[in-house]
Amino acid sequence: MPLPIKVSIVEDDADTRARIAQSVRADRELQLVGEYGVAGEALTGLARQSPDVLLVDLGLPDMPGLDLIRVCAKLYPDCEILVFTAFGDEAHVLAALEAGAGGYLLKGNLSHDIGFDIRDIKAGGSPVSPLIARHLLARMGNAKPAASQKEGECALLTPRETEILNTISRGYTYAETAKLMGVSATTVHTHLKRVYRKLSVSSKTEAIFEASRMGLL
């Protein structure tokens, strides 16, 4: 069996932290290696534990979560950073992604086990809550396609690839997308990897941005 995904949590609210920790411990594919209420403790612990995925809140008492993300993204480039917060405004979302976060989830909008999102981001995906996906699409919808866009560039993606990326951009998970389209989750992953290659990106969030910019969505 593959090694479990090592997870650390940085969340100042004890009840929320306990709920996430319980969900992680209940998943046999995950291993909880650290729980922290403040950023300072997290930085000390991360140096010893080398987690694969870091779940971090933005509203920490001793250091802005954005600063913690920047530090961790620089010190631990192999660690995927997944934001788990109550801040759903565009400014926080874009700042977190620019700081190095690979996914963005809202605390009050989780309808499924967070273990799925942890596996998703570790596999190269960029889990985002539906509201966050709409923010990103709305922002890109206001941006005009690049002036250098070549004729026929909109045909860069196949109809199936476009359909899958469009569904993912609306906030559906890989499993939900597969069910809606009547294909396997593996097929969805395969199509998305082709999309990443064609658009010269490395994550779902980047693919949505680039495809929207190019007028493909």
Task: Give the whole-number percent of the chain exceeding pLDDT 90.
Answer: 33
pTM, two decimal places: 0.66
Question: Has residue 149 got a pLDDT over 60?
Answer: no
pLDDT tens sequence across 26-72 = 999 999 999 999 999 999 999 898 899 999 999 999 999 999 999 99
Q: What is the mean pLDDT of the chain?
A: 83
Residues 6+ apart with CB under 8 A from 164: 177, 181, 188, 191, 192, 195
Question: Has residue 205 got a pLDDT over 90?
Answer: no
Asked whether 54 and 79 are in contact (CB, 8 A), the reply is yes
Q: Which CATH class is domain 148-213?
A: mainly alpha
pLDDT for the residue 37? 96
Question: Has residue 153 got a pLDDT over 50?
Answer: no
pLDDT band at 190 (very low <50, low <70, confident <90, very high): confident
DSSP-derived secondary structure letter, 204: H
Enumerate the domain spans of the chain: 5-127, 148-213
Asked whether 158 and 195 are in contact (CB, 8 A), the reply is no
Residue reference for tokens 């699409």: 137
Token readout for 156 is 């860069």
Report the alpha-carbon angle 180-202-113, nearest 5.
45
pLDDT for the residue 155? 46
pLDDT tens sequence across 69-121 = 999 998 998 899 999 998 888 788 888 888 889 888 888 755 457 888 898 88
Q: Could you say which of 3.10.20.30, 3.40.50.2300, 3.40.50.880, 3.40.630.30 is the CATH number of the domain covering 5-127?
A: 3.40.50.2300
- In angstroms, the CA 144 to CA 163 distance is 21
